[in-house]
Amino acid sequence: MATQIKRIEKDFLIKALYDNRITVIYNKGQTQYNLLVERPADTEEGQLFFKLDKTIDELKAKDRLDLMFDYCGQVITFFVEVVSVDKKQIVTTKPEFLHKNLDRSFSRVSAPPDLQVEFTFLDDRYSLSYPKINEYEPEGQGELVKTMNPKNLSGLVRQMEEWIKGFASGYKMVVFKDVKPNTVEERLLAETGKSLYLPLIQKGFPLEDPYPRKRLVTLDIFRRFLENSGVERHKVNDTCARFIKQKHDKGFISELWVPILFQEYVIGYIRAWVDKEEIPPFDYTVIDNIHQFSKILAHSLRINRFFDSGKIKGYPFEGRIIDISVSGLLFSYPISALTTTLVPESELSVELKALNRTVSTKVKIVRNFKDRIREYFGCNFLKMEPEDIRFLFEYLYGKPFTDEDAAFLAGHV
């Protein structure tokens, strides 16, 4: 993730641009422009004076320039606004922020006009009426599937019930087909897609989530949920305490609610609880195993055609490319039923069609945002072939892919 540079270091780096004659790079289309700061940054307050190696066509006042430079092996990026333009000199504002530790390996440029990009879903996708979260859950069957037959849905549920009865005093499974999320716990799972885990009821919510891909409702998440539900901020702590007390008063000792996730949908949940002193409270092994059961169950529902009425046809679609690099791209598509299925962590097959070559690869969506008409998706390329990387680099930047370019633009910066 890009890190914003603090003011003192920012001022030092801007000064170093002039003192050390550091080349600043601007990429436009298939052309790279090299800029040098030709006056000390404090000569004119709020302005930078750049000398150009060649004229930048169609550049005018108030245009935004996205710039980058290398300082001691660290790639720094920033943007400025053009104040005035001459053939070999431009004056810009001083940058408000500088950033380092970028999350992309190559600088992004506007897409060449002859580039066509076509996307296709890697797997079947669905438009369903279940609660939806803004994250894609890859389908997986888990290790426990070795002893189970996912084609036998009723048998799978019976096996799950028998297994859970071995460590819990109560169990319940709900699918949100005919029942909408209603209780606090159901709405919490439907909105977050995370598991509600209370290993010891009297101790309340966990403060941290130990899973790399976050899976649990922590105290902070529950507090935000309450605020978003309309609870006034000064009443949140009391509401949390009352929620836990009600469970304790009902005799619960340990409790777990695990959502059943299918792609970006919360299909239902598996709930287990302990209300007898002789049964040990739940530990993380219980979470892991019920989570695996939930994945097997979602897989079983799919192969038993439970979701077929909402299946979207897997035809290719074209996105409007906003910008692109050798490491990823940003595209947009009109807000529609299709865009509701394009969520972070989902993967697409993509064909990049230039005049003399087509690059076929995959992308993973890492972020999205929208305006009133279109939705935008930032993607990373996955496992692109080395020869395709070289071609795409030379096609996008209009220069050979040299070792020096790789050292400057690639790697962890």
What are the residue ranges spanned by the domains of the chain? 3-100, 116-124+314-409, 143-309
Contact 275, 252 (CB under 8 A): yes
Domains 116-124+314-409 and 143-309 belong to one CATH topology: no
Q: What percent of the chain has pLDDT over 70?
A: 90
Instruction: Return the CATH architecture of domain 3-100.
Output: Roll (2.30)
Nearest to 89 by CA among 123, 54, 118, 119: 54
pLDDT at residue 109 greater than cutoff 80: no
pTM more than 0.75 = no
Contact 150, 245 (CB under 8 A): no
pLDDT at residue 122 greater than cutoff 90: no
As a 3-state breakdown, the chain gives helix, strand, coil percent values, each rounded to 5, of 30, 35, 40
Per-residue pLDDT, 411: 44
Selected residue with higher pLDDT from 405 and 150: 150
Highest mean pLDDT among 70-74, 97-101, 118-122, 219-223: 219-223
163 token code pair: 């297994």
Evaluate whether the domain defined by 116-124+314-409 bears CATH number 2.40.10.220.
Answer: yes
Evaluate whether the domain defined by 143-309 bears CATH number 3.55.40.
Answer: no
